[in-house]
Amino acid sequence: MPDIALAAEIRSERGSSSSRRNRTDGRIPAVIYGHGIDPVAITIDSRELRGALNAQSGGSVLFNVNVGKDQHLVI
């Protein structure tokens, strides 16, 4: 299991204008989806994500993303 955990918030607004506002506020809009789960629209702090990506070397990186009480393993 990866030892990097990122905190995320559920995003209620969707669309290009709300995504632009999130990016201006330093948050990155994203969607968690996979087999057997409903898609979850989230935002992640850009500094936290950049630090986690820079801490790893090489191709794909696995993260634990905490959304409220739920935890998702993501690439």
The pLDDT tens digits for 18-71 are 888 889 999 999 999 988 889 999 999 999 988 888 876 666 788 899 998 999
At residue 34, what is the residue type?
G
Helix (H, G, I), strand (E, B) or coil at 31: strand
H helices present in 1-75, as ranges: 16-24, 46-55
pLDDT over 70 (residue 5): yes
How far apart are the C-alpha atoms of 13 and 60, rounded to whole Å?
29
At residue 61, what is the residue type?
V
Rg value, the chain, Cα: 13
CA distances to 1, 6, 10, 18, 56 from 64, in Å: 8, 6, 15, 25, 14
Question: The whole model's pTM is what?
Answer: 0.81
